[in-house]
Amino acid sequence: MEEIKLLIQLQKLDLKIDKNIKDEKLFYSRLKQIEEELKTIEEDFLKKKEELKNTKKEKLKKELQLREIDEKLKRHEDEKYKVKSKQEFEALEKEIANLEEEKSREEDYLLDLMEKEEELSGLLPSLEKQLQTNRENLTREREELNNKIGSIKKGKENLTREREELSSKIGKVYYEQYERLRKMRDGLAVVAVEDGICTGCNVKVSPSLIGQIKRGQIVYCEGCSRIIYLGNRSGS
């Protein structure tokens, strides 16, 4: 009877350890996600900032080009009164028309740049504010997770020490069987029988096995081979 009690305690202890390991992995996974989220929002902000800078440079460039076109148009208009042949006049007219067309295109493009600059200039302050809020929230969550991970590690160390002490009290044969079953059955080697049913595989446990359990023997389920014991609703 003492052996089964120790195995039940060991199973409960191992389930706690397994949960700690699972939680720790989840917390580390979330930490990684936080780092990626921070990186993404910071990169997005910097990208928009660089886009605004490039837009301003491009706008300045277009403004200079338009001034140059205006200067050319003014020169050509003055030259119209100095040409001596119809051919030269027509050539100037054609050049002026081309410049006017180019000017129209550049003005449209400049207008687009101005709209983009206005949009980005209005967007960046809100993005920066959002970035700061997100950074603070994620940093706070990261600190909380690190504290939880620290607590889990400490708890896991205590549970591991308790496990070592407990497992040393269990007979070698039963302990080795327990470990094999844990590997085979996803960490669950010892399960309760409730209302005559094995909670590990939902197979009905025969009365003869129930009798053996009541006599304090180590009993294995006929359905899943796990070590079974009588639970709260076993009628014992």
Same domain, 130 and 216: no
Which domain-ending residue is among 139, 167, 195?
Answer: 167
Whether 19 is covered by a domain: the verdict is yes
Give the β-pairing of 190-194 and 197-198.
Answer: antiparallel
Is 157 within 8 Å of 194 (Cβ atoms)? no
Whether 1 is covered by a domain: the verdict is no
Same domain, 178 and 163: no
Same domain, 23 and 137: yes
Whether 220 is covered by a domain: the verdict is yes
pLDDT value, residue 22: 94
**DSSP state for residue 235 in the 8-state scheme:** -
Does the pLDDT at position 233 exceed 80?
Answer: no
Does the pLDDT at position 236 exceed 60?
Answer: no
CA 146 to CA 150: how far, in whole Å?
A: 6
Number of domains present in the structure of the chain: 2
Contacts of 164 (CB under 8 A, 6+ apart): none
Q: What is the per-residue pLDDT across 4-47, written as a single tens digit (0 to 9) for each?
A: 999 999 999 999 999 999 999 999 999 999 889 888 889 999 99
What CATH number is given to the structural domain containing 36? 1.10.287.1490
pLDDT value, residue 49: 94
Is 229 within 8 Å of 189 (Cβ atoms)? no
Same domain, 163 and 178: no
pLDDT value, residue 83: 84
Same domain, 20 and 115: yes
Whether 5 is covered by a domain: the verdict is no
List the Cα angle 103/107/108 in 5-degree steps.
120
Q: What is the per-residue pLDDT across 70-120, written as a single tens digit (0 to 9) for each?
A: 999 999 999 988 888 889 999 999 999 999 999 999 999 999 999 999 999
In Å, what is the CA distance from 154 to each residue of 14, 88, 161, 172?
15, 93, 11, 28
Same domain, 14 and 106: yes
Instruction: Say what the pTM is.
Output: 0.67
Same domain, 143 and 201: no
Q: Please give the span between the terminal C-alpha atoms of the chain, in angstroms, as a whole number.
A: 14
Q: What is the per-residue pLDDT across 139-191, written as a single tens digit (0 to 9) for each?
A: 899 899 999 999 999 999 999 999 999 999 999 999 999 999 999 999 999 99
Whether 70 is covered by a domain: the verdict is yes
Same domain, 157 and 215: no
pLDDT value, residue 235: 52
Same domain, 153 and 178: no
Same domain, 204 and 145: no
Banded model confidence at residue 1, pLDDT cuts 50, 70, 90:
low
Same domain, 135 and 208: no
pLDDT value, residue 116: 95
Whether 236 is covered by a domain: the verdict is no
Same domain, 161 and 178: no
| Host domain of residue 192 | 172-230
Whether 235 is covered by a domain: the verdict is no
Within 13 A of 116's CA, how many CA atoms are on the CB side?
Answer: 18
CA 51 to CA 225: how far, in whole Å?
A: 66
Segment 225-234 mean pLDDT? 88
